[in-house]
Amino acid sequence: MPDATDVAVRDLARISGGASRETYRFVGSWVEGGQARERKLILRRDPPASLIDTERRIEFEAYRAFHGTSVPAPEMLWLEEGDGPLDHPFFIAEEIAGFQAGPGLLWAAPYLDSHARLAERKWTILGEIAKADPVANGLAQVMPAVAAADCWNRELTYWEEVLNDDEAEPLPIIRAAIRWLRANPPPPAQKVGVVHGDYRTGNFLYDTEGQIHGILDWEMAHLGDPLEDLGWSLNPIWTFGRGLAGAWFQTTRRSPSGNGPAA
């Protein structure tokens, strides 16, 4: 908004959580074209140090690619890649207000009754992410390319390097798992698509009716095997409504048209 005047910020508050960005909510007001404007906004700023190094432009572009599609995502407004205004790079987005993200609330009223609907929406949206064409939505231009046969190796190597750099104490079980995965690699990806990278309970905004209003935390998005997202989202740490798992499985097998099980 280069023509804005009387820019002001109020109600600035930090949002807890997150391992790669500092997140704040605030209300921005300004005058533009002779009109007073006000909007609830979210600021995501790079911290001085992070548990996981991620690329802010990729996160910004992933949000922007899916906003306005069948994958609910907030609107991205501004990206600043320099250190000047706030000492560290940042971006600003609209706030999707009035909904919850915390996994713990799903086990309490009034959210308990929404599990079936929420599960259906969760898996349907994941299918929409997997179906997305990264060339058509522009993400192939900002995300590093990967061959179908190398999807698993690139991700395993990346996380092994993170472990090598940040391991605070020996982790023999994880090291054994890495060795096993290298000795027993999965088949090549059936398609290379957009992978959210952290698709799970806690990274989407939901309501008491089981609707999902925003998929969040795209900082680890990349091109790869969409089955990576499915596997991570089925991790028992993040699941809810375990008694409905059979119904969820059928939902994940629906054809792209949604008219029945895929062949």
H-run or E-run covering 164: helix 151-166
Which of 218, 177, 176, 212 is CA-nearest to residue 197? 218
**DSSP one-letter string for 38-52:** EEEEEEEE--SS-SS
Classify residue 81: in a domain, yes or no. Answer: yes
Same domain, 228 and 127: yes
**Non-local CB neighbours of 107 within 8 Å, separated by 6+ positions:** 240
Mind giving me the DSSP string for 64-78? HHHTTSSS--PPEEE
Based on the domain organization, do 107 and 87 belong to the same domain? no
The two three-digit tokens of residue 71, written as one number = 């994958």
Positive or negative: CA dihedral 95, 227, 122, 193 = positive
Residues 49, 176 share a domain: no
Return the CATH number at 177.
3.90.1200.10
In this structure, are 184 and 109 located in the same domain?
yes
The set of long-range contacts for 179-188, using a CB threshold of 8 Å and a minimum separation of 24, is 181/152, 181/156, 182/156, 185/152, 185/153, 186/152, 186/225, 186/227, 188/148, 188/149, 188/151
Distance CA 142, CA 102 (A): 30
Residue 260 in domain: no
Q: Could you tell me the mean pLDDT of each successive run of 10 residues in the chain, 263 residues long?
A: 83 80 92 90 82 78 97 95 86 91 84 89 95 97 97 97 92 97 97 96 92 95 96 81 50 43 32
Tally of domains within the chain:
2
Which pTM value belongs to this model?
Answer: 0.85
Cα 240 from Cα 234, distance rounded (Å) = 10
Same domain? 116 vs 189: yes
| Whether residues 41 and 118 fall in one domain | no
Nearest-angstrom CA–CA distance, 229 and 126: 8
Residue 54's nearest CA partner among 200, 197, 225, 204 is 197
Residues 112 and 188 in one domain: yes
167 domain-assigned = yes
Residue 26 structural domain: 9-94
- Cα–Cα nearest to 58, from 14, 21, 84, 95: 21
Alpha carbon distance 224, 195 (integer Å) = 6
